[in-house]
Each structure stands twice: as C-alpha cells, then as structure tokens.
Amino acid sequence: MIPSVGLRWSGQAIGIGRRRIELLSSRQFSSSIVQHAPIRRNPLLCQNGPSVARLSSKSQFSRTNVLIRNGAGVRFASGVPLSSAASTTPPTTPADAASSSAGVPSDFASSSLDEVTDWSAESLANVPHYIGYLKHLGLDYWTISPTNGMEWLLEHVHVLAGTPWWASIALTVAIVRIALFKFYVNAAENSTRMATAAPITKPLLAKMNEARVTSNTTTMMEVQAEIRRINKRAGVSTYKSFIPFIGGFATYGMFKLLRAMSAIPALGLETGGTLWFPNLAIPDPYFLLPMLTAGVLHALMRLGGETGQSSLSPNMQKVVLWAFPAMGILFSWWMPAAVQITFFTQGLLSFIQVTCMRQTWFRRFFNMTPIPKRAEGPDGSSPSPYKGNLRRAASPVLSQAELSSRFQSTSSSFPRPPGQPKSGILGSVLKPIEDAMKPTIKAAQEALDKRQKTGTIKSNRKEAENYEKKRQKEIEREHLQRAAMLREERARRKNQEH
C-alpha cells in the first residue's frame, strides 16, 4: 500500500523539528560552565553543568512539540506568496540587532575639521592657566637660572592673583623691588658715607694716581692703605654698593622670558594689555612707553641714580642725563610691549624709591646718615676747604700777556659776517646737548694733554735710564782699560828689571 502524501510531509516536518532541537541545545558562548557555591547549595540547580543546558533544551523542546503535534498543518514556504512572507517577517542582520540592543541613535552631528581647529585669539585667551602651564608650552629653562626664577614668580602671580598679563608683569617687578629694598637702603647709606668722607679721600686719591703715573709703588701702597683706614673708620664697605646689581639678573631673566612668551600665541598676550597697548606681543604702536621710560630715567639720573648719591663729576653727570635716556629709547622701541612695560615699571619704582630716600623723615626712620650738602664752585667743582680768595692791588705795569690779549681784542673788534642762526626747534633741542658736551670735550682734551705730558715724562725717564745704563757701561769699559794699562805697565817694568 502506497503511503499517503500527508504522512510523508509530516515526517519531514518532524526532521526539521529535530534539527532545530539540536541547534538550540548547543553551547554558543563558552565551552565550559563555572559552577558557583550558591548554585551547589540550591537543590534545584545542584546538578552537573550539562544538565542546565538540557533543562533549557527540554523547555524549548516542549514548546516545539506543540508545533510538531500540529505538524499536519505545517506548510512549506513555497506555498506562501513572497509578498506576504516579506511583510510578515522582516529580515534582521547582526548589525541591526547590535544597534537596537545597544540603544545607539541613528542620527549623528556632523562637524568639519576646520571647525575643530579654528583657534581664535579670544578662544586662546580663555584657555585656563595653571601652575606649570608655561613649561608645558616649551618655556623650560635651567633650574638655577634667573629666567627660570622669574618664570616661576610670574606664573604664580598670574594664576593665584587672577590678574591680566600687564598687571601680572607689573606686580612681578614690584615684588622683586620689594625683596631687594633693604639692599638698596644699605647701598644708599654706603654712598652717603662715601660722599661724607670724600673731602678727605679725594686729595689722597689724587696723590695715589700721581704715584701710579710716576711708578712709585711704595708711595702708592702707602696712600692706598691710608684710604682703606679712612673708609673703614667711616663705615664704608665696597661690596655693599654692588649688592643691588642683583636686580640686574632679575631684569635680564624677565626680559628673556617675556620675549619668548611674546612668540607663543597660546598665552593670550595679544589681549593681555590695557589702554593704548592692548596687544603685549607687539611694540607700543604710539611709542609712548619708550618715551615715558626715557623721561623717568632722565629724572632718576638727576636725583643721583639708584642710591641718590652720584659719584660722577658734574661734566660727566650732564652727559649721563641725556645719553642714558637716548640709549633706552634706541634699545626698547622695537621690543614687545610686555618688555617695555617691564622697563617702565622698574624705572618708575626706582624713581619713587630714590625720591623717598632723599627725604629727611625716611632717613630718620631707617636710621640713615643725613645727606651732606654739596656746595659747588663757579666752575661746577666742589670748593676745597683749604682754598681762599685773596685780594691783590693792581699793578700799573702791564705784563706781556696782557699786552698780547689787548692786541688780540683790538684785531677781533673788526666787523665779521654773522653766523648762520639755527632754527628755533632744532636749536632748542641741540642746545642742551651742546652745553652738556662742551665740558666733556674740554675734560677729554685735558685728559689727552695730561696723557701726553705723562707720556713725555715717561719717555724722558726712559731716556735718562738708557743714558744711565750707557754711562755705566762706559765707566766699566774705562775701568777695564785702566786695569789693562796697569797690567802692561807692570809687565814692562819687570822686563826692564830683568
């Protein structure tokens, strides 16, 4: 008897169900199952590892049996239209399943690389600064160098105080000035003591220079020892005058650091200025900072420098009053505004400090020696207490010099063509410089004449020494000739006797 078609299809459906059971019962994640202590204690789960898999397969097999029992109603997919199959069971891929399980949104915000790397001056200025920020940008210097010390101080002031860059630079300069204030007071006191003892030591210095010119070592050493004894008794110390020069190292470190910072756009110096110089990375566009610095330096030189007591001659003092400000302008007009504001702040603080040091109440508070009064003569030099004015009766007889001067004045009384007058602005600018240069030129001419005179004295002395050596050689030669003549005379007498 031929089997019916329905039984044959039922057998194929059973085979399909068997294969599904085998696929569902296989392990998909690991090859072994770790049994934990709570599982062993549970009476329901206290079985071997494969039993858990069998348990799940049995439950799924029981659900599958329902389909197998109704296997007669199972039909192939070929009997179902494609449109209905596609509409009822949409295909799912592993990527779709992963995306749906992870909950990742399908829409993303698009951005270009230019928008990410678009760093403007405002965005760079808003970057938060922290301790060590300058070193991370590459400004790493030697540990014991002044530049490293000023970097540490400026960074801490800027981060902790939260001030803009121009205020941080000014505060840093002020802190250095306050730290060295006691040394400046000691240097000013030392300069005052030197000025008090100057009337006594000045003649000795002239004597020592004269002994040096004449190569009189003994006199020079004696006078030098005498000057040391006077300075020691007056309380003058040589090294105290050089201690404030430590501030020069701090100024150099600040200068080097700020120039390097001006080349880095990530620091925000482009927006760290104020007033007419908002950008500290470029020079002052109106050149006001260099001009103000030169004016402050000129006023400071008039007060006697950092110590308030200038040891320069009046003629040299006039040159310094104009030379130093001019050099300051030439040196700083092309530098970044950060460096220019450093020089201006330092000069302004020095001027305020020296002005206070010259006040009586300030010197009394710090127990300093009063400033000696400097009385100047008509030629600008300090009068000597050993000099006086004597009146002499005029002689009725004219000397040869007076006659020559009268003849020269007569010859010069003839009319001469007038010189070309200078313009008002140029003359007003050049006249102080010419007046300051005239004493300097005169002093240089006197020094040249003195050097020529000194050279003449040395050359005369050398000629005298050469003549003395030559004369000694001639005397020795005469002695030798006389001794030879005496020997010949003795030999001749002996021959005659024999």
How confident is the model over 293-304, as pLDDT tens digits?
999 998 888 888
Query: Residue 73: its pLDDT value, please?
Result: 44
**pLDDT for 376-430, tens place per residue?**
544 444 444 444 455 555 555 555 566 566 555 544 444 544 445 455 555 555 6
Query: Residue 291: its pLDDT value, please?
Result: 92
Are the C-beta atoms of residues 341 and 280 closer than 8 Å to each other? yes
Which residue, among 184, 417, 426, has the nearest Cα to 309 in the 3D structure? 184
3-class secondary structure, 274: strand
Of all residues in the chain, the percent with pLDDT exceeding 90 is 10
Query: Residue 123: its pLDDT value, please?
Result: 52
Which residue, among 221, 224, 218, 190, has the nearest Cα to 204 in the 3D structure? 224
C-alpha–C-alpha distance, residues 249 and 146, integer Å: 6
pLDDT confidence of 342, banded at 50, 70, 90? very high
Mean pLDDT in residue range 224-243:
84
Burial 215-242 (b: 16+ CB within 10 A, else e): eeeeebeebeeebeeebeebebbeebbe
Lowest mean pLDDT among 215-224, 233-242, 322-331, 433-442: 433-442
pLDDT confidence of 370, banded at 50, 70, 90? confident
Query: What sign for the dihedral angle of Cα 259, 262, 267, 270?
Result: positive
**Does residue 312 carry a pLDDT above 50?**
yes
C-alpha–C-alpha distance, residues 319 and 312, integer Å: 10
Angle between helices 337-357 and 246-262 (to 10 degrees): 160
Instruction: Please classify residue 416 by burial: count the beta carbons closer than 10 Å to its beta carbon, then call 0-12 exposed, 13-18 middle and 19+ buried.
Output: exposed
Of all residues in the chain, the percent with pLDDT exceeding 70 is 58
**Does residue 353 carry a pLDDT above 80?**
yes
C-alpha–C-alpha distance, residues 25 and 51, integer Å: 11
C-alpha–C-alpha distance, residues 245 and 230, integer Å: 25
- Residue whose pair of structure tokens reads 């040299």 in the numeric block: 316
**pLDDT for 461-497, tens place per residue?**
777 788 888 888 888 888 888 888 888 888 888 888 8
Strand partners, 207: none
Q: Where does residue 215 fall: left (phi above 0), alpha (psi -120 to 50 degrees), or beta otherwise?
A: left
